[in-house]
Each structure stands twice: as structure tokens, then as C-alpha cells.
Amino acid sequence: MSIMRRVRDMTVATLNERLEKAEDPVKLIDQFLWSTREEIIQAEKLYQQVNGHGNHLKAQWLQAEQLKEKREQQAIIALKAGEEHVARIALMEKASSEERATQYRELYEQAAQSVKELEEQLRELRSEYQSVYDKREYFAARMESLRLQQRLNERYAQGGVFNNAPGQQSAGIFRRLDDRLSDMELEARSLRDLRKAGQEWVSGAGQTLQSSIEREMEQLKRKLQQEGWKSQ
């Protein structure tokens, strides 16, 4: 396990511990994601550098291998031509190229191993980032639910519109409206009954008045007759 991997494990463990106590887990997760993203960027840069260096080492190794084979062929040709001195020089250069090829091959293999480790670390970092990001979305949803619930509780505490259970507020409004209309209807019926009674009273009063006038007329006639008045 690489040093970077051990550090990452401790960081994740610390995050899990702090999440249990955090008042704002989303903010804490955002900080962790930012830090992880920066580490991914740095790891990607290092990967490109190590991979580029490995490609250069491989090219040097293959070039030395080709030169080794070339010098061997030149030594054979020199021997066939009877030029042993030239053949020895070619073999010496072959040995030097072989040593250089071995050295570059070892360096390339080390670089290739580093590239594999970086690829694995990058894969883990990206997987970890995505996993924590998904957790962040979940906690963000929970925080939003909590925020809305707190706002609802504040409305309850202030005695606002939502102080009553769902449906009770509108039911109370319609109940008051029904009572008001009932009062208005009762008032209208009372006025109507009063007008009707007044008309009946006027009609009855007219008949009574007429009877009274007739009686008074009769009284006046009798009085006049007693005084010697004769009706026409």
C-alpha cells in the first residue's frame, strides 16, 4: 500500500468521524471534495510526467538494443573481412550498448510500475470522489428537508396560516362565511315579514278608520236631526 493510499484512508476515516458530529455535513463534504479534486489534479499531472518519462526511457532502451544488434552485425562483417581490430571495436561498442540498454530497461520498468501505481491511485481517488459526491447529494437533500421543516415549525410558532391542521383554516373561513350569510338571510326575512305586517296593519287600519268615520257620520246626522235638520 502506497503512502498516498494510507493518507487517503485516514482522510476518509476522519471524514466519517466528523460527519457524525457536523452541524452542516454538506459544507464539510464540500471541503473534502475540493481537497480530493485538487489531489486528483496533482496526481493527473504527476501521471503525465511519469508516463512521459517512461516513454522516453523506453525509447532510449530500444535504441540501445538496436545499436547493440547493429554493432554485433558489424563485428561479424569485420571478422569475415579479416579485420579483427575493427571487429573488437564493434564488440566493445556492443557491450557498451548492451549495458546502456540494461540500465534504460530497468529505469523504464520502474517508471512503468510507477505508472501502474498512479493509475490505480487515480482510479481509487476518482471512485472515492464520486462516492463522497453521491453522499453529498443525499446529505444536501436531508439538509433541505430539515431547513423546510424548520421554516414550517417557525410558522407554527408564530401562529401563522399554517397554525391549524390542513383543511381547518379553509373550513373555518367557510364556516364564518356561512354564519354571516345566515345572519343576512335572517335579517332579510325579518324585514320582509315586517313589511308584510305593516301592509296588513295599514289595510286593517283603513277599514277601522272607515268604520269609525261612518259611526261619527251617523252621530252627526242624529244630532242635526234633533236640531231640526232634515237630510236631503
What is the C-alpha to C-alpha distance for residues 203 and 201, in angstroms, rounded to an integer?
A: 5
Q: What is the pLDDT of residues 83-105, one digit of tens each?
A: 889 889 988 998 999 999 999 99
Output the DSSP codes for the chain. Answer: --HHHHHHHHHHHHHHHHHHH-S-HHHHHHHHHHHHHHHHHHHHHHHHHHHHHHHHHHHHHHHHHHHHHHHHHHHHHHHHTT-HHHHHHHHHHHHHHHHHHHHHHHHHHHHHHHHHHHHHHHHHHHHHHHHHHHHHHHHHHHHHHHHHHHHHHHHHHTT-GGGSPTTHHHHHHHHHHHHHHHHHHHHHHHHHHHHHHHHHHHHHHHHHHHHHHHHHHHHHHHHHHHTT----
Q: Beta-carbon neighbour count of residue 94 at 10 Å?
A: 19
pLDDT of residue 22: 65
pLDDT of residue 200: 65
Q: Judge contact between 64 and 128, C-beta under 8 A.
A: no
Q: Judge contact between 125 and 40, C-beta under 8 A.
A: yes
Mean pLDDT per 10-residue section of the chain, whose length is 232 residues? 46 67 75 88 93 95 94 90 88 92 95 93 90 82 81 73 52 65 74 69 63 73 71 52
Output the nine-digit C-alpha cell for 215.
Answer: 259611526
Decide: pTM greater than 0.75. no
